[in-house]
């Protein structure tokens, strides 16, 4: 049981001690999408929803969420983020693609921050457009890549 990083020798949950790890540049990219009716996507594209600019609000929500990740995920460390970016792809007929990137120079990775940012951006899109399309589906939230740290680089194979 001691092979698990978040479990101590007594089998209890613990936070990983990162005190002796080296500071490195760390970047993580997560993606996801919100599938919707084509009419809903057109309303988002044209800023035609009553709640306002869906993508602007979702971008801010994703950035804010990344900064609050340790408040949401119990064993995440509070880290200083150098940058968080949220980008949207509106090229599909019936979905909004989301790409969230998080950057930090520190002792632990930013994968959870990127994943939380993508997830909350997707949830915000749902919230902003649910009045016209309650059947939207949040899908494919995943880590695409990460760099830095002892474990090295990762790139999702497709």
CB 63 within 8 A of CB 70: no
Residue 96 neighbours by CB distance under 10 Å: 26
C-alpha to C-alpha distance for 16 and 8, rounded to whole angstroms: 9
User: What number of CA atoms fall less than 13 Å from residue 77's CA on the CB side?
Assistant: 16
- 125: nearest Cα among 93, 91, 90: 90
Which candidate in 87, 94, 127, 140 is catalytic? 127
**Annotation says 127 is catalytic:** yes
**Residues near 78 by Cβ (< 8 Å), separated by ≥ 6?**
70
User: What number of CA atoms fall less than 13 Å from residue 59's CA on the CB side?
Assistant: 10
Catalytic residues: 127
């Amino acid at each position: 049981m001691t092979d698990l990083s978040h479990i101590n020798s007594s089998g209890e949950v613990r936070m990983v001690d990162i005190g002796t790890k080296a500071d490195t540049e760390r970047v993580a990219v997560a993606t996801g999408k919100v599938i919707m009716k084509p009419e809903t996507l057109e309303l988002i594209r044209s800023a035609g929803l009553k709640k306002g600019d869906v993508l602007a609000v979702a971008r801010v929500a994703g950035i804010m969420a990344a900064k609050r990740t340790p408040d949401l995920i119990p064993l995440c460390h509070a880290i200083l983020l150098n940058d968080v970016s949220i980008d949207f792809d509106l090229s599909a007929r019936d979905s909004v693609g989301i790409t969230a990137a998080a950057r930090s120079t520190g002792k632990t990775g930013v994968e959870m921050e990127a994943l939380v940012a993508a997830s909350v951006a997707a949830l915000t899109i749902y919230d902003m457009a649910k009045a016209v399309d309650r059947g939207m589906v949040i899908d494919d939230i995943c880590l695409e890549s990460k760099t830095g740290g002892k474990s090295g680089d990762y790139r999702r194979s497709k």
